[in-house]
Copies of this chain bind each other. A is one copy, B any other.
């Protein structure tokens, strides 16, 4: 089969790869219905996070089970399934506390930008839908594998409650879906930081009530101005840079919550500054598995349409253009059809 392989900075190739096979009795093999490019794929694509060797890409996926290992009992061939980007056994102590992305047996799923995929720990990782979805549901179901689950975790970690004032830092797909999540959780006011017209528009569709174009200290001053000098109750940090992290912390009211899901690159937090900010800080790799059943219901019943973040759909063999479009910010997120 042919799939995406990253060779180095801005060098993604669509080339022959081994067909995945069951290697452990807990594995499943999926026929991919839809895959996509993740914002976090851009870190190695841009060379900021170097790779040691040619690397099969893709960790967001949904599809039909083709084969399962002898120990798999919860899914079976023919079912449509979605799983998290981190495989988890869903039975270890961390999983029982609902932190499946810190599972004691966790394994990063990789190679999903391909027609077939091996998923480890299938019983703990995959959730089957009640039936095979129609094509129009595929984009939204695909988002639950990572990007929507991550936006949801950002809002959850930021303790969004009905009536709250929420700020989303970052207008990538995660930030935009953080806005949608906050709206679903009953936020009264949702401020999105964006300078890009199409992203501002989507933020508003997802529930943003205010758009702020300023950044850094000016951005913080604007948030303070919009909140009577108090700061936001909940802030979603969806970028992962020093600037975005400090913007998030400084925009939060004392006692408020920062949920951070942007993978930190070069972020250093000064202890005393954090102490005086008086905020709650929580984040990390989103425990997407925790949210899958509820989010599948919301998509299935057409309560939410997170698939709107895909503003570019390409056949899998044009995966390189999918990366380029996101790298150049011509596209928010690229969906790939095998």
Query: Which A residues form the contact surface with B (CB < 8 A)?
Result: 93-94, 97-99, 101-102, 104, 228-230, 240, 242, 245, 253-255, 260, 263-272, 274-285
Contact = CB atoms under 8 A, between A and B. Distances in A.
B271 A102 contact: no
A284 B228 CA distance: 23
Contact of A99 (B255, B274, B281): B255
Contacts of A281: 274, 280-282
Given A253-B94, A254-B284, A255-B98, A271 B267 contact: yes
A50 to B, nearest CB: 15
B278 A280 contact: no
24 contacts: A94-B254, A94-B255, A97-B253, A97-B255, A102-B255, A102-B278, A104-B229, A240-B271, A254-B284, A263-B275, A264-B272, A266-B271, A268-B269, A268-B270, A268-B271, A269-B271, A274-B283, A275-B285, A276-B284, A277-B284, A278-B284, A280-B281, A281-B281, A281-B282
Contact of A254 (B97, B263, B272): B97
A277 B272 CA distance: 20
Contact of A278 (B228, B268, B285): B285
A31 to B, nearest CB: 32
Contacts of A279: 282
A93 B269 contact: no
A301 to B, nearest CB: 29
A99 B254 CA distance: 7
